[in-house]
Structure 1
């Protein structure tokens, strides 16, 4: 059985740092890269934390992430969800089996779990296979229409509406959209309700948007490319809504390189509220997505299902809030 020292050695950190990271110590200041190295080392070594004297772990929680470990590191949204789950499990003495969908023997590893939380987007066939592993199943970031499968998603309708209300009140009537495309395992494009809400809002408020709508990937590189494409088209909106902060950060870089100022020349809003948004120049106005809390609540729901099985699923939409900083101004 792997020890804490084994994990620390593999990750290249001290045993004390590894322990604090694995116990989600909020007072520890450490880079996301180092944190991920420790979590990945623990996963590869199948490390299990020792319980405190007198404490018994009654259940094992399985966590399945649809991203690879590298993608998760690049997208703090999904990493924050997982950290919320693991913090709950640590506080309630639950064993954790952490795996990624592209891992070898992924389903075999999860067969030892009593409850299962799946983070991301999955096909109906995949969800059916998950349900065969356990009845205590919850999906995070993907709505379930099955009365027997619980899910937690964000209220994208309210979130996008709040962001566009802010731009509309500032006088913007030409607004761009930079989004990402996500595909399920069977190649099906997963519909993003952010885009639908954006289009519905623009059409109902007589906002010009069609020439400024771009979609690629949820990454800073894609945001950079999409904004350069908008700039080179010679038709820039007065404001842009980006469907994720990484997209917004890439767009901000492209604008800066092309000599355009935010918010003087164009206003910009992101989505997620990652910590870097406070450090950009100017600080980025964005929608705060309660990713960590989604993980905490999700783990609590599955824990409840394990102790008190119920045939009724919970379908939860969590509200987001607009965080106004300095990247938007009146037209």
Structure 2
């Protein structure tokens, strides 16, 4: 069985720091990254606190995406950390599984509530509700949902992005996006793409020849941008649906001899830590993924404690522009 010493060695901190983090000491002041390193080490070592007489509240976090997808796109990692942070601070026992786990029925036994993180099909949600109907959905946006869902306000963010670029004089604006698939094989209808097209038409922007979709990874961003460059048909500005896509696109532009923002402006989405260290620093949108995870866990926790049913509702969290140096006026 793992000990505090094992966690301290893996996280490269003192045993006292591990103890205070795992016990949510409010007087402890450490960087967020240190806190996350300790929690990750505890999870990797399957550390368990000594059981008390009170069985506590058990919540199951079901991830739609794979570990590799989480590595490629820090957005989902940040979302998960938000859930884990709230549960750790409130003594909630969190069980983390993936949607394709073969022992899902066993994993859901004795669970008080479920958090679904990512893009689940409606049929999969209905299956999960047979085990427990105290369920909350994070980062899912469907019409006619019967569950509580928390999403980002992509529509307003895209309106702000295109307003910002057109105010800089851009009228040829491209879109680099990713396609995500539900467990039933259907492509998820990305609000970012729909909103981009809606506001591009409203602002009379030239966009049809500058739209490419791949995956939400830097590698895909590089490939999409390379294809666009080789077509010899470039816009004056780009919106990338994630920071990893934007960073891959920036690498491709640099490799082909383009200068950002002199030759082309680019906006990302998520405001991951690395976006502040690109060259030039990436203008992007802050997406409150960590807050979404915390808020979702808190809503479910409160419903479980109060023995109340979560009402079907759609909650939107706002995003906002983080202006750096990757965009300029024509």
Partner of residue 227, structure 2: 229
Q: Look up the SS of the partner of 2:268 in the other structure.
A: strand
1:284 and 2:287 equivalent?
Answer: no
Shift of 1:174: 0.3
**Change over 3 Å in CA distance of 1:310–1:146 after alignment to 2:** farther
Measured in 2, the distance between the counterparts of 1:315 and 1:299 equals 15
For residues 164-198 of structure 1, give each alpha carbon's deviation from its aligned partner in whole angstroms, at most 9, with x where no partner exists: 11001000000000000111111101110110111
Measured in 2, the distance between the counterparts of 1:246 and 1:32 equals 24
Does the Cα contact within 8 Å between 1:173 and 1:238 map onto a contact in 2? yes
Partner of residue 212, structure 1: 210
- Of the structure 1 ranges 129-138 and 318-327, higher mean CA displacement relative to structure 2 is found in 129-138
Q: Look up the SS of the partner of 2:85 in the other structure.
A: helix
Q: Look up the SS of the partner of 1:182 in the other structure.
A: coil
Please give the residue correspondences for 1:231-270 in structure 2 after superposition, counting only pairs within 5 Å: 231-270=229-268
For residues 128-182 of structure 1, give each alpha carbon's deviation from its aligned partner in whole angstroms, at most 9, with x where no partner exists: 1111121210000002555641110011100111111100100000000000011
Does the Cα contact within 8 Å between 2:36 and 2:81 map onto a contact in 1? no
Q: Look up the SS of the partner of 1:129 in the other structure.
A: helix
Shift of 1:22: 5.8
Measured in 2, the distance between the counterparts of 1:226 and 1:185 equals 25
Instruction: Identify which of 113, 124, 140 aligns with 2:122.
Output: 124
Partner of residue 323, structure 1: 322
Measured in 1, the distance between the counterparts of 2:187 and 2:254 equals 32
Shift of 1:29: 6.5
Shift of 1:288: 0.6
4+ aligned runs moved over 3 Å, structure 1: 1-9, 11-26, 28-37, 144-148
Please give the residue correspondences for 1:62-141 in structure 2 after superposition, counting only pairs within 5 Å: 62-141=60-139
1:312 and 2:311 equivalent?
Answer: yes
Partner of residue 60, structure 1: 58
**What TM-score do you get using the length of structure 2 for normalisation?**
0.89
1:38 and 2:36 equivalent?
Answer: no
Measured in 2, the distance between the counterparts of 1:307 and 1:36 equals 25
Q: Look up the SS of the partner of 2:60 in the other structure.
A: strand
Structure 1 vs Structure 2 CA RMSD = 2.7
Q: Structure 2: which 5+ residue stretches go unaligned?
A: none
Instruction: Identify which of 174, 177, 192 aligns with 2:175.
Output: 177
Measured in 2, the distance between the counterparts of 1:279 and 1:315 equals 34
Measured in 1, the distance between the counterparts of 2:305 and 2:167 equals 49
**What TM-score do you get using the length of structure 1 for normalisation?**
0.89
Does the Cα contact within 8 Å between 1:182 and 1:217 map onto a contact in 2? yes
Q: Look up the SS of the partner of 1:183 in the other structure.
A: coil
Does the Cα contact within 8 Å between 2:242 and 2:269 map onto a contact in 1? yes
Q: Look up the SS of the partner of 2:199 in the other structure.
A: helix
Measured in 2, the distance between the counterparts of 1:86 and 1:243 equals 26
For residues 98-119 of structure 1, give each alpha carbon's deviation from its aligned partner in whole angstroms, at most 9, with x where no partner exists: 1222444234213332111110
Measured in 2, the distance between the counterparts of 1:86 and 1:96 equals 7
Measured in 2, the distance between the counterparts of 1:88 and 1:224 equals 36
Measured in 1, the distance between the counterparts of 2:139 and 2:18 equals 29
Does the Cα contact within 8 Å between 2:7 and 2:38 map onto a contact in 1? no
